[in-house]
Structure formats: C-alpha cells, structure tokens
Structure 1
Amino acid sequence: MVVLKLVLDAFLLAVATTAQQIPLNGEQPNEKWTQFHHPIRRVAVIGAGPAGLQAAAKLIEHNFEVRLFDRSPSPGGNWFYTDETPVREPYPDKPVNEVPDVPQQLPAVHYYKDGEDGISLEDRWKEHWQPRPLWDSLHTNSPAVITELPGVPYSAAQPWVLSNHVIQAHVRAYASLHNLNANDDTNVTSYATRAESLEKIKETQTWRLTLRKLERIPEIKSIKATWWTEEFDAIVSATGPYVAPHVPTIDGIDNWSRAIRDDDGYSIYHSQSYRRPQRYQNKTILIVGASVSASEIARDIAPFTKTLYTSIRVSSHIFHDKLLTNSQPHAKLSPFQLRSRLRFPEIATVVPEIKSFEPLVDHKKGIKDGKIHLVNGSVLTGIDEIILATGYIRSKTFGPNLTADGQPEDLHWTGHWIPDPTLAFTNVRSWTIGKYQSYAFAKVWEGTAHLPPQWEMQKDYDDRKYQFRGLFSSPQAEALFRQYVAWLNNESLENGGRFVEPWPLENREIFAYYSEVEWIKGYTGLRNFTDFENLPQSEWPSGHAAAWESIVFEEEGW
C-alpha cells in the first residue's frame, strides 16, 4: 500500500521561485524586501488540525481564495479521535520517499471493490486517511491555558488536564466558527482528500497540487476514488513531518511480527492501534518505550494486566531506577521525559533494551512460548502481547530536507521557505503562537508585511539566527512571541493592518503553577526557564515540548 505522504516531484530541479532569486555569486541585490512574481490570491492549506484551521481562517479573513485539504473525514488533525485503528505498520519501516500511484491522465475516477489488489475496502479507507493514534482515555500533558484556540474558550469549570475528547470538540468548534467543518462550504473545504504531489509551474509561477479524494459508496459496496489537480499562488503545509509509525530495527522482529494471537489479532503491534485497556485482562504485556505513550498506556492497562514489563533502551537520555525521584531530576532529561519516567505505574517491571527475538516455529500459536533476549544477557518469555511505543518516522513533506528536529531546512523563522516564500510551513506551536504565524502568512502575501530579501533571510539562517521554536513558556517561546509581536506591529504601523497583543502575563503564571504540580517541582525555577531576557542563545534549551511533539519524538527515548 502506498505510504500516505506529500511529495514534491523533482522539486529542487524546478524551483524557479515566485520571489527574487537568491544570488549565487554572493552579491547582494538592492531590493529592500522579498518581491513576488505576481499578486497572491489563491492559497491552499494542507492539513485541518489546529495549525491548518487557523491558517485557513486567517487567510479567508484577509480575502484570499482558500482551499483547505485534509486526508481525514473531519477536522482535528492529530486530535481527531475515532475507534477505527490504522492499517498495520510495516515491518521494517517503509522508505519515506515512496511515491504514490497516480493515474497518468487527470482527472480520473475509479471505483474500488472489496478485495481489489488484495485490499479490503475497510483497509483501503483507513490507509487513505490514517486514523490518529489516540486512545480513549488520553489526556494532554499541557494545561488548557496553553492548549486553546482563539474565539472558542473552554468553560471556566473545565479541569486543566484536558481529555482528548474535550480537545477534539474544541477544535471542531473552532472549525465550525469559521465555516471550515466537514459539513460546511465544500468550495473551501475538501475532507477525505490527500495531497499526493506538488510541483512548481515555471510558466505561470504557480503551484500545482495533485489531489486524491475517497468516498465510501455503501449502496454498491465500493469506494470511489477521484484524482485531480488544482493550481495556487501559495501553499501552507500544516501537516507536520510525521506520517508513519516507527518500528525499531531489532534482530528477529520481522519474524515475530507475523505471530497471531487467539483472537486473530497480531501479537506485536505499534501503539498507534491502542484504544482501550479492558482486553488486556490477566495478560502478560511488554511495552517497548519510555516516553509519553509508553508510560500513559502502561498506566491505562496496569489495573488489568497479570504482569507488565517495559523495555527501555539505555542511552544518555535514560536514567536508572535510583533517579526516579521528584527531588533529583536527571540533568540529561527534559521535564517531559522525566515526567514520563515518573508516571510509569509501580507494578511495571523495567527491563533493559531488547537485543533479539528468537525465531518462532509456529506463528499461529502467538508469542507466549517465544524467547526475547535482552542486552544484559537475560531472557524474557511468557509474553502475551508486545506494544511498540517507539515513535514516528520523520518524512519530507514539500521538497526541503528535514533538520535533526524535524523541521524543513532553509526555513525562515516566520515559517516561509527561503528559496520560495510562497511555500510556508506551520512550524510553531499552534495553540499559542499559531495565531501570530497565521496572521504573518496573510500579511506577507497581501503586502502589508514584508520579508527581508532572500539573501538576508538565508544569511540569518546560515548564521543560525532565529532558530528558536514556539513551545511552552520557555526562553525560546518568550523570544518568539516577542519577535512576532514586534515585527507584526511594526509592519502594520508602516503598511496597514491591525495590531496584535503579546501573550498575557497571567497565562504564563497559570502555566508556571501547572508545571509545578503536574510536571516536576521547580520546573519554572530551572536555570533555562528563569532569566530569559539575558539567556545566551547558545544556552537556549533544545527539548521538544508540545503535547503532540512529546509523542512523536519518543523514538529518541524508547
């Protein structure tokens, strides 16, 4: 099956940009700011999560012609919960650059029948939209005050630890407020639609998106697939860099991946498929991982299991049992890594990293009699099921390669791609800085805000200026908030447009209190989270702090 991803066909060979080319000879042209080839009027936003919805809403407010695409049947992004589980992850991981199969002649329509190409209709539908890896009891690890979209405030009585169902309703309320829900104007929104490829048209200096939409037709027991193209002056990628679950490379894991348990399900699987704990009654379970989903799923299933193990890879990021105290945080751990370690239930037995799985003789008898060899020489046996809480694969989205922290290379701090600023990425924390970045996209493309010349943006990037990200109330976030406010207001003063306000101080105080209670005592008093005014750039923290990022980055700590 085709990996659900966004690809750019021969992008770097066809990057005749709509903006002034960056000089190759090192000369600095005389332009004061980046110039565009023609006025930006028609914009595509890809992704209808909290980031994409805000971008689409703000662009519509500024009179752009907007099209919003999402592969899901409804808005919500990673916060769209459903009991549906994704199609099974491949063993090993598929290549991230796999190109989707698109008919040569477009537009095209095809009606898939059940079992066509060996794929059931149910699996074809789920492979297309990829149900999100949320489980029923999941709660965010960030408080409501920094997990809120503008215009749809939570109830004052809402607990600060938010259920994923509450967040989902919150995001859908925002979508409905801006007429971006699945039952709203289909001239704007197109759900169950996947962006298959993107290319730059040299003659018109516009972007061409190739799209694929699936519709379930129960009357004739089929799925209708439609492929077509649309052209745009600018693109907002709000998909994030993670598109598929990560399966660790362990000797013998492919053999074990074929083992079937009594209820015909697989005995080893990724945490993306976990939904509820009741089915683990009286079972012996091994969770592989040490980050958010590992610890939270362990807490969820612990009351039901007979025996619970968790395998943690030994690395500089992992601390030993003697450091499992609130008063002695490990210097190598971010507060979110530490919080995850501290939240493992007491009944969970920590075992070392897995070295290999001894081959199974009969895959129809499950894995209970199988032997798991650990790096310390010991052997585990008697395991009923294994849950791989090992994170997600970073993948290229549109053209640029990704940096070590999953961001596209050559990305300006505003989210505009430096080689062609008509391509932009939502690269900040959507709940807090998303509204500033969305406003920036609209202002730049309507001409009421200007980006520096491309050579200047590239120089700043190469000099590693402005590489902070918008996370929580950290020095990075504080600096980015202030930079957005100062830049947007200065541009509005000179070119027109409304002014924006900084993040309210009371929100930071609420966050500080929350972190003391829910994360680790003294969090806001740590050196990296106090004197952000005078903190040298070289000492800014580099940990990833958003609730979702704490899940997708967990392959670094499993």
Structure 2
Amino acid sequence: MFSPRLVLLLAGLSAAAQQTPFSSQSSSEWTVFHHPIKSVAVIGAGPAGLQAAAKLVEHNFTVRLFDRAPAPGGNWFYTDETPVREPYPDKPFDEKPYIPEHLPATHYYEEGDEEISLEDRWKEHWQPRPLWDSLHTNSPAPWIISNHDIQRHVRAYASFHNLNSNDYQIDSRRSPVTSYSTRVDKLQKIEETQTWRLTLRRLERLPETNRIKAQWWTEDFDAVVIATGPYVSPHVPEIEGLVAWSKVKDAGRYSVYHSQSYRRPERYQNKTILIVGSSVSASEIARDIAPYARNVIASIRPKPNPHPFQLRSFLRFPDVTEFVPEIDHFETLAAHDKGIKDGGIHLKNGTVLKGIDEIILATGYIHSNIFLPNFTADGQPCQSPLDWTLHSRPHFGLYERSPMDHWKKQMKQDYDNGKYHFRGLFASAPAEALFRQYVAWLNNESLINGGRFVEPWPLEKREVFVYYSDVEWIKGIREVDEFHRL
C-alpha cells in the first residue's frame, strides 16, 4: 500500500501545474507550481522509491531513479558485505563529499589511493545495508517473513516495472530510467528556472584492471522525490573512553562496533557480549546470539513512558539477558591488541563490568543525508520557510512542504506527551479509530482529486495481528479491555 504522503505527492503532481518557490510564504492549502512538472528525479530505490518511480512512469512523466546501491531493495537489499567502519565519534553534520570543480568529470582510483583500499572505497560509496542473515519482519503478513523473501519480492516488483539494475540494457532503444551505484552528492534549487539540480557520482568496478571508475555529472529536474529515509549514518554515543576502546582489536577483529555490521551469530560462541541500547536491533540481535553466547548483557537507558513499539522491543530480549544501567565511562586500557576482556566498564550506578569479549552498539542512526541543505550542527532542520515533514516518523519538520506551521509546536508537544504514540498496538480500539480516520481522509482526497481508493484493513488480518501480538509481543495482550473485539 502507498503511504499517505506518497499518495498525496502523486496526486499533487498530476493535479497541479504551478510551483511556488520555497522561500515564499503562502496561506494556500495547495502547492502551486511555477511551471508544468514533466521531469522527476526519484532518489532511493527501496519500496517507496520504486512505487513512486513506477507510478510516475505510468503517468507519462520523464523519470530518473537513482540509488547508491548496485541493485534495488533499499534497506531490504541484503549482502554479506559489511559497511565501512563507523567513525568514532560521529561525523560532523556539515561534512561535504568531494566534488570536482569542473563537471562532468571522470577519475580512476587505484588500490591504496588516499590510503583507502578499493574495497573500502566501494563500500563507502554504496553503504551495505544494516541487515543480518536471519532478520525477519516484526509484524504478521500473515506471519513473519525473512528479509531474503522480502528482498526477492522487492526485486521482482522492480523487474515487473522495468526498474531493476539491468532492465534497460535489454532494449537499447528505451530511455534509461534507472542509474544504480549512483550517489546524489548535492541537491540545489535553481532559482532562475525553478528547477532542481542533482550533482551525481557513479562508481564502477573494473576488475580487469583492478581499478574503480568514478564519474561526476549533473542533471536538472522539475521535481524531486526523496525516498531515502533520513537515517543514513550510524550513531556512536559520546561516552568517556569509548573512542580509545574502539581502536582495540582481538585476533584481527575490532572488539567494539556498531550493530550495522552484525551478520551471523556463530562467531559469538562461548563469548560474553555487551549490547548497548534497547531498540529493535538490540533485542533482535540479542535473541539471535543468545543460543551461542556464554552471556548476553544489555546496557539500557530507562524510558519512563515508552510507547508500545518501544515496550515491544524491550520485551523481545531473551530471558537469559542480564540488564545493567547506562555506561558512565570506560577505563584506560594498557594495550590495544589484546582485546577488551581485562578492561573495566563503569556503570552509572557505580558497578564495574569486566570480562566482556565484544561490545555491540545498537544505538541507532542519525540524520545525515549529505545532499540535503540547511541542516544545523545537531542534525535537525534549520527553521526556514521550507518546512519538512516525514511520513511514518515522529520528527516534525522534515521533508515536505506543509501549510500547518502554526500547528507544529502543538503537534510536537502532543507527541512528547504520548498523544501520538501510535494510539496503541494494531487491532486495539484506539488504533482502529486512527486507521478509520486515515481511510476516510485518503478516500476523501481521492474523491476530490481523482485516484485509487484505500480499503480498510481486512477483519481476518486484524484477528491474525491480535493473536500474533499475544504470542510475539506481550503475553496476555488479548485480555486487555481496549483490544478490538471482532
């Protein structure tokens, strides 16, 4: 199903013919375009980007689909490759990629250029996704699905719509829509023409000469769909001593690393593992390694009013997990080549942990889309006439122009107070009311602007989810009074 924002975006593109510069103030409920929208760039070839590109092509727009990965799938594109090691501490938010002064440009990289291996240069460019081999969905469809099945489904969808990585090589007469292994390094508004200019960088591996070919160029579009998600770079918490510990290796492997690099549990046989964080990644990785590890310890920060999905993540930790408070600081190590087992980890309650073999930082990701302008030092959007809002994310002020500026502060306050914490688990009475509200809203927009109608969630699916919630999330949840009775 299309997200509400995506449905409205497509309806807006087909219904509107004028565009107002983002620098202007407007009280109109609708976006008015400066000129007819004919060409559209879609950044990101995950499920949202593929659907957007397919619909835009269907409606006769000139479309270009860009993704830094070598194939479609977005975060569901699994490979055994792990990302380039995360920086300690986090990268600065204003870090800009290298762009040649004169474009277009081409450069050939050799092994070791700028003290970077070809393998790391390739991985830094396309950024292998933070999936592990046994990852599966955390909702029933009708039951859980492995990431490999989802990946096959997404790639089949791409192929069906001629959006896979090699589809336009089959018929050279067709205009190329896709450009994989292509990263957007810069996105800027051209005021004179009211169009958008993308500065692009594509890498191609040349195994016959053991080199990498890099190409930079620009393309202009009437409109841009950003389907990358905001969370690109792994977040490393600022804890005293962590930077020094991050340099430690044992048998050639780092002892401290972010969860983005986790792939399989067998390497943790008979080890004591400390997981930092209580998110979905933290609890699911703990479940994955528990049958192999000697001990699984989780350092968590208590949340006074967790919403249902946060509570669900916490309850998914295996029973063998030992929970400890937040980390205060790491002791100084005598050596950096003998692991961290003899080092002390001081917790905020005064306890000292020792005997830890490896530390997995399941501490999430940060806003770091390098091509998006006007970010402040803390990664949040600047306060400007361009108002951004993300669908399905509780961060008001990202990625979409909105006429509701005067409501933003109230919405943020309501979210912080728990008003918008998903209104309960799916199939609960509050969630059912919210779904009905969404269906009525979307179908009303379809009546006004034209477009497909959205059907309510089938009754049998709700019953499946109630049962699934009881088995996989919170035992006895079906007995809670607020749950929807069919």
The question of a shared fold, defined as TM-score above 0.5 by the shorter chain, is answered with yes
Partner of 1:398: 372
Partner of 1:49: 46
Q: Distance in 1 between matches of 2:22 and 2:313?
A: 46
Partner of 1:217: 206
Q: Is 1:519 aligned to 2:473, yes or no? A: yes
Q: Distance in 1 between matches of 2:452 and 2:152?
A: 29
1:87-486 aligned within 5 A: 87-144=84-141, 160-185=143-168, 187-262=176-251, 264-313=252-301, 315-317=302-304, 332-395=305-368, 398-399=372-373, 419=386, 427-428=391-392, 456=403, 458=405, 464=411, 473=426, 474=431, 475-486=433-444
Q: Distance in 2 between matches of 1:418 and 1:479?
A: 29
Q: Distance in 2 between matches of 1:266 and 1:352?
A: 24
Q: 1:517 Cα deviation (Å)?
A: 3.0
Q: Distance in 2 between matches of 1:515 and 1:482?
A: 26
- Larger RCO, structures 1/2 (Cα 8 Å, 6+ apart): 1
Q: Distance in 1 between matches of 2:233 and 2:24?
A: 37
Counterpart AA for 1:165: H
Cα contact 1:238–1:425 (8 A) shared by 2: no
Q: 1:457 Cα deviation (Å)?
A: 5.0
Cα contact 2:367–2:380 (8 A) shared by 1: no
Query: In the superposition, relative to structure 1, how do residues 224 and 171 fare at CA in structure 2: closer, same or farther (>3 Å)?
Result: same
Give CA deviations for 1:230-271 in whole Å, capped at 9, x if unaligned: 000000000111011111111100110110111x01111111
Q: 1:291 Cα deviation (Å)?
A: 1.8
Partner of 2:456: 503
Q: 1:342 Cα deviation (Å)?
A: 2.1
Q: Distance in 2 between matches of 1:291 and 1:199?
A: 35
Q: Distance in 2 between matches of 1:224 and 1:182?
A: 18
What is the TM-score with the length of structure 1 in the denominator?
A: 0.72
Gaps of 5+ in 1: 1-16, 146-159, 318-331, 411-416, 430-450, 493-497, 532-558
Cα contact 2:94–2:375 (8 A) shared by 1: no
Counterpart AA for 2:191: K
Cα contact 1:470–1:480 (8 A) shared by 2: no
Q: 1:124 Cα deviation (Å)?
A: 0.4
Aligned length, in residue pairs: 442
Give CA deviations for 1:300-324 in whole Å, capped at 9, x if unaligned: 11121122222112x334xxxxxxx
User: Quick one: which of 45, 48, 73 aligns to 1:76?
Assistant: 73
Q: 1:33 Cα deviation (Å)?
A: 4.3
Counterpart AA for 2:39: R
Cα contact 1:241–1:407 (8 A) shared by 2: no
Query: In the superposition, relative to structure 1, how do residues 400 and 462 fare at CA in structure 2: closer, same or farther (>3 Å)?
Result: farther
Cα contact 2:45–2:67 (8 A) shared by 1: yes
Counterpart AA for 2:135: L
Cα contact 1:139–1:162 (8 A) shared by 2: yes
Q: Is 1:19 aligned to 2:7, yes or no? A: no
Cα contact 2:307–2:421 (8 A) shared by 1: no
Q: Distance in 2 between matches of 1:64 and 1:388?
A: 43
What is the TM-score with the length of structure 2 in the denominator?
A: 0.83
Partner of 1:491: 449
Query: In the superposition, relative to structure 1, how do residues 508 and 483 fare at CA in structure 2: closer, same or farther (>3 Å)?
Result: farther
Q: Distance in 1 between matches of 2:259 and 2:406?
A: 42
Cα contact 1:20–1:35 (8 A) shared by 2: no
Give CA deviations for 1:180-201 in whole Å, capped at 9, x if unaligned: 1111126100111100001111
Q: Is 1:38 aligned to 2:12, yes or no? A: no
Q: Distance in 2 between matches of 1:348 and 1:241?
A: 31
Cα contact 2:24–2:385 (8 A) shared by 1: no
Counterpart AA for 1:367: I
Q: Distance in 2 between matches of 1:130 and 1:32?
A: 39
Query: In the superposition, relative to structure 1, how do residues 505 and 225 fare at CA in structure 2: closer, same or farther (>3 Å)?
Result: same
Partner of 1:554: none
Query: In the superposition, relative to structure 1, how do residues 32 and 140 fare at CA in structure 2: closer, same or farther (>3 Å)?
Result: closer
Q: 1:337 Cα deviation (Å)?
A: 2.1
Q: 1:207 Cα deviation (Å)?
A: 0.5
Aligned-partner SS, 2:168: coil
Counterpart AA for 1:502: E
Give CA deviations for 1:128-160 in whole Å, capped at 9, x if unaligned: 011011111111111225xxxxxxxxxxxxxx1
Q: 1:350 Cα deviation (Å)?
A: 1.5
Instruction: Kindly report the root-mean-square deviation, in angstroms, between the aligned alpha carbons of the 2 structures.
Output: 3.2
Q: 1:480 Cα deviation (Å)?
A: 2.8
Query: In the superposition, relative to structure 1, how do residues 418 and 175 fare at CA in structure 2: closer, same or farther (>3 Å)?
Result: farther
Query: In the superposition, relative to structure 1, how do residues 278 and 33 fare at CA in structure 2: closer, same or farther (>3 Å)?
Result: closer
Counterpart AA for 1:398: L
Most deviating of 97-106 and 463-472: 463-472
Query: In the superposition, relative to structure 1, how do residues 60 and 426 fare at CA in structure 2: closer, same or farther (>3 Å)?
Result: farther
Q: Distance in 2 between matches of 1:89 and 1:278?
A: 23
Q: Distance in 1 between matches of 2:237 and 2:203?
A: 31
Cα contact 2:21–2:194 (8 A) shared by 1: no
Cα contact 2:442–2:454 (8 A) shared by 1: no
Cα contact 1:112–1:223 (8 A) shared by 2: yes
Q: Distance in 1 between matches of 2:410 and 2:343?
A: 53
Partner of 1:4: none
Q: Percent identity over the alignment? A: 59
